[in-house]
Chains A and B, each alone.
Chain A
Amino acid sequence: MKNFFLGVDLGSTTSKAVIINEEDQIIGRGITNTRSNYSVAADIARDEAVFNGRFSILKKKLSGEIAARSEYKKYIDDLESVFQYEQFKVRLDKLGDELLKTCRSYFKEQQKQEEIIGHLRNIRRSFKPVIKHDYLYNNLGSRNQFFRDIVSEKYNEEVGKLSMSLFEPLMTVWDKSISPAENQLITFDFAELVQKAMDELDEKYKNIPDTYADNESVNFDAELNLLKGNYNQVSETLRKHIEEITRLDFKITNMTGTGYGRALLPFPEDCIRSEILCHAFGAHAIFPDTRTVLDIGGQDTKAIQVDKYGLVTSFQMNDRCAAGCGRYLGYIADEMSISLNELGPMALQSEKEVTICSTCTVFAGAELRELTNMGEKREDILGGLHKAIIMRAMSLIARSGGVFNEFTFTGGVARNPAVIKYLTHFIEESYGTDIKINIHTDSIFMGALGGAMFARRNIRAELPSKSGKKEFSNESSAAN
């Protein structure tokens, strides 16, 4: 039986899980923005990583066939996307239940209650097919979108179409229902959901010609075209493999918890490690020549110096103030009424960054309104804000001793293209163009990856605990 290793990173904004195999390869990734309960967040992220792991094992197993027949890959990718939709649907039902429950307890008056419930039903009826379509045809599941973000965007859209007098009651019901729905740990039956997803795919492929007719904007997709009229045969060939990974006993041999909530994880004490070590180790695992790591997370920024073993030699973190971190961007996005994902691309459009003097999140909001009133372009204001974030990070990097080759950027904020633009500019300006800058697509998972790496590599190197101490003293005397 194969051994798998789990790393869980409980951040201030999101919780991440990564599963690796004995060869240090990433097998599964899971992420959630649930944050009311760390234990539930860890479980949600882990389950998601295990599901993702099953799909990637499937792809690995079939790698030979996939190389020869690209429709296999297409089928499996689609299957995972629809599988995610099936999960989404279950949670959406939970949200529906919560909304009804809230409505009944909140609106005592029968008539009002029925009116709101009627609107809720309509809202759901109109956005559900849109979301389904996004999952099935636009790969929504792979875009790391959270349940709350997906639903709230559509919900707000629908509420916006209704009369103003409904805004407050509908938003109140939403606010009271979303967290309980989001924070529920739902035990999904993988086999059942996979079967549903396969049925759903049959429908999708059957309708391919219609889909083209319905929507001419869909680009010609060679892989999809191969599946046309062929899907039955493909799904039958793959079925036994799918059933095999469904039955696979996913044995987590060892695990490590890290991040802000690590002390609250239901893990043994010796499986808990500081996120500084984990981010450094994760960055080192992906880019072994890393010497300086910058991690910008939800509420802290860390500049970490590592040696050739991936061991931390020193680090600096922001103290007392979290301006310039992920939450800062979240706040700015809220102030501008745009989504977090739109911030970076919009800032990239900037032609002349406005100087933002403030390094305080709350003041930056005020400054933003002031600058907007003065007629500055949104893009230029956002450019300035992104630049300000990097200026702060640069000062922290300097405190930690500067940048040494290679430089690896990790954390959720590393997905923001404008942040990358300004960071690259200032690193090159201050430390020269010879510095190799590494940014990985899995940068947000770096802490969890480092945790999983510790779980695999250092099984015997536990930190303060009774068993760990004993083993350690034996080891050191043997070394001497």
Chain B
Amino acid sequence: MKTQEQEVVKEKSMLIQKEMLANLFTELSNSRETGKKVVYTFVPGNLTELILSFDMLPVYPEINALQSGMRKKSAGYIRDAEKLGFSEDVCTYVKCDIGMMLNGNIGPTGEKLPPPDLLLLSYTGCFTFMKWFENLERLYPGVPVAMLHTPYQEDGNVTPEQIDYMVKQLNEDVIPKMEAVSGKKLDMNRLSQMMVNSATSEDLLVKILQSAKNKPSPIDAYFAGVYYIGPMFTAFRGTSEAVDYYSQLNNEVQDRISKGLGPITPEGEIGEEKFRLVVEGPPNWTNFREFWKIFYDMGAVIVASSYTKVGGVYDLGFRHDPAHPLESLSRYCMGCYTNMNLPQRVDLLADYVTEYSADGFLINSIKSCNSFSAGQLMIMREIEHRTGIPVGFIESDLVDPRYFSYANIKNRLESFFQMLEQRRIIMSQEQR
């Protein structure tokens, strides 16, 4: 049957993830009946283990926004937020989220999301998060706000004083507020146990992402990568479900390596791996599938990306530490990609180009995201200078479909791929 043929190819790990997410949203929509408290918080520098240890449920507004983008609902939400007075230049995640609330706060699965019992602002790298929560505070009057300030890695390292500063905030503000909202005392043993699971999952995730060093790469570390990081970056880090998910995913990836297979795409196996790319910047969500297709149709595989590090750069060695739970939460927040300074980002990306044998480096610059876009041109030039590989630059947006111009993006990507191809041919002729 035609419809079956067109169905997206799914592996077992994808089905597990889908079920995990469905259960979470059901649990959220039933939270009033079950009495579970709800915490609104953000992905980069999230305190998921801490939230879960109080038996509370996390909601991530930026995940809802990107899901709305993928489900073609963001245009309407953004329009409603702009009607309320949000400027054209405001982050589209924020406008999409506000618009969603104005429209009854229906989540990605079609179930209504509960209002927050606690607004936990543990932002890293992006100051818009702070303004976002100021808006949420007004939309949900009376809901307590806990703020965890994460110092930026201005000098490119995390100092003991910074850790002390963060642990102090956790002890004096965040944890007492969580205790008050949940009505429970902090259970340090439970938190520590969760971190064992966190570290196991993190080991597996690193193994999965690093599998892209193989030729051909068994995974696409950007377009598929955003699915792989889902459970880790959101509500499941520290759970046994996450360990199961990553074990399953890792088995699948190892199996693909042993069979010499390339990444799986929504249209099945990718053909020949022609180009290996490192990508900087978030993807576009409103035309995600179309965007990805331009790459896999050309045989381009993304072998490493910075976006899959926004919720933790685990390949640099950080793991949640059961022996020092609060310290490791602090280290975790400060180590996320957008909290790294520009020289650190350049180092990381230049290493990716070498370690993953990339043929090209591409930036997808996001019109409404200052925290990612600042410094990107400098990053691009530095990478070109240090690695000598061709670099490319395209522009789109997170969830505002008005800023995704398919023809323009395709035109530039075609030129970019042709650049890579020409270079390879001329260089091989020169070497002979």
Contact = CB atoms under 8 A, between A and B. Distances in A.
Given A274-B411, A311-B426, A319-B395, A463 B418 contact: yes
Contacts of A469: 272
Interface in B39-78: none
Contacts of A317: 408, 412
A458 interface: yes
A463 B417 CA distance: 9
A399 B376 CA distance: 10
Contact of A314 (B392, B403, B421): B392
A360 to B, nearest CB: 15
B405 interface: yes
A275 B403 CA distance: 23
Given A314-B391, A314-B392, A479-B432, A274 B415 contact: yes
Contacts of B429: 479
A311 B431 contact: no
Contacts of A472: 421, 424-425
Nearest to B428: A479
Interface in A309-347: 309, 311-317, 319-320
Interface string B394-425: 01000000010100100110110111011111
A428 B274 CA distance: 41
Interface in B101-120: none
Contacts of A274: 411, 414-415, 418-419
A478 B392 CA distance: 29
B278 interface: no
A461 interface: yes
B102 to A, nearest CB: 28
B295 interface: no
- The dominant DSSP class at the A interface is mixed
A463 B392 CA distance: 18
B364 to A, nearest CB: 12
Contacts of A463: 418, 421
Contacts, number: 76
B430 A309 contact: yes
Interface string A382-417: 000000000000000001010000000000000000
A476 B408 CA distance: 31
B422 A311 contact: yes
Contacts of B431: 479
Interface string A462-475: 01100001001001
A401 B418 contact: no
A475 B421 CA distance: 12
A401 B390 contact: no
B397 to A, nearest CB: 11
Contacts of B377: 399
Contact of B408 (A316, A319, A399): A319
B298 interface: yes
Interface string A241-282: 000000000000000000000000000000001111100000
A275 B419 CA distance: 11
B415 A276 contact: yes
A313 B412 CA distance: 13
A309 B426 contact: yes
A312 B419 contact: yes
Contacts of B428: 475-476, 479
Given A277-B419, A479-B432, A314 B414 contact: no
Interface residues of A, number: 27
B415 A314 contact: no
B423 A311 contact: yes
- The dominant DSSP class at the B interface is helix
Nearest to B381: A401
B360 to A, nearest CB: 10
Nearest to A316: B393
B390 A277 contact: no
Interface in B242-298: 272, 274, 298
Interface string A146-183: 00000000000000000000000000000000000000
Interface string B366-406: 00000000000100110010000011110100000001010
B412 A458 contact: no
Contacts of B391: 313-314
B425 A475 contact: yes
Contacts of A309: 426, 430
Nearest to B365: A319
B415 to A, nearest CB: 4
A476 B275 CA distance: 14
Nearest to A274: B415
Contacts of B421: 461, 463-464, 472
Contact of B405 (A314, A319, A475): A319
A401 B299 CA distance: 28
A311 B403 CA distance: 30
A399 B392 CA distance: 12
Contacts of B426: 309, 311, 461
Contacts of A276: 415, 419
A479 to B, nearest CB: 4
A458 B408 contact: no
Contacts of A464: 274, 298-299, 417, 421
A476 B422 CA distance: 12
Contacts of A475: 425, 428
Contacts of B411: 274
Nearest to A472: B425
A343 B431 CA distance: 49
Contact of B393 (A273, A277, A314, A478): A314
A107 B366 CA distance: 55
Given A313-B384, A314-B384, A277 B425 contact: no
A209 B429 CA distance: 62
Contacts of A320: 395, 403, 405, 408
A260 B32 CA distance: 57
Nearest to B408: A319
A453 B384 CA distance: 26
Nearest to A302: B415
A190 to B, nearest CB: 35
Q: Give 3 nearest A-B pairs by CB, closest first.
A: A274-B415, A479-B428, A276-B415
Given A311-B419, A314-B384, A464-B417, 10 more contacts: A274-B415, A276-B419, A277-B419, A313-B391, A314-B380, A314-B392, A399-B393, A461-B422, A469-B272, A472-B424
30 contacts: A274-B411, A275-B415, A277-B418, A277-B422, A311-B419, A312-B422, A313-B384, A313-B390, A313-B391, A313-B419, A314-B390, A314-B391, A314-B392, A315-B392, A316-B393, A317-B412, A319-B405, A319-B408, A320-B395, A320-B403, A320-B408, A399-B393, A458-B422, A458-B425, A461-B421, A461-B426, A464-B298, A476-B428, A479-B431, A479-B432
